[in-house]
Amino acid sequence: MNALNGYDIEDLTVGMQASFTKTITDADITMFVGVSGDNNAIHIDDEFAATTPFKGRIAHGILTASIISAAIANRLPGPGVIYMGQNLRFKAPVRPGDTVKATVTVKEIDLAKGRITMSTVCTVKDTVVIDGDALLKPTSRAKKG
């Protein structure tokens, strides 16, 4: 792998794993509200959020899930990968100030179709907050001519 091109599909093996870690800040949540238009009070209003089952503000699930994208794009398979699909299961809330670790693991490799499936898990400390899987199209030496 190099900075401009991630792992080619031919270099991947089942079980390869990488992680990306980010602390979710109030600024991240505010910027996500602006970018997405999702201004649900559970994310931005302390008083309202205190009345919910979470007893306080939580980060947007999709904001948290975007850390998976960073792990895939920046670590494994890395630059050049095309995201084709993602399944997500939200397991626990992420709060402002939580540090989220996204870990991606190669589950399946389909050389004929040039696709891979990866398991995707986000944790805060030892708690799984999101799990799922992603379908990706990595770069390929065979197609670089």
For residue 143, the 8-state DSSP code is G
In this predicted model, what pLDDT tens digit does every residue of 77-121 receive, in sequence order?
Answer: 999 999 999 999 999 999 999 999 999 999 999 999 999 999 999
Q: What is the pTM of this model?
A: 0.93
Instruction: Judge whether 22 and 70 are in contact, CB under 8 Å.
Output: yes
Tell me whether residue 103 is exposed, middle or buried, using C-beta atoms within 10 angstroms of its C-beta: 0 to 12, 13 to 18, 19 or more. buried
The fold of the 9-143 domain, in CATH, is Thiol Ester Dehydrase; Chain A (3.10.129)
Domain ranges of the chain: 9-143
What whole-number distance in Å separates Cα of residue 74 and Cα of residue 91? 25
- Do 107 and 118 form a contact (C-beta atoms < 8 A)? yes
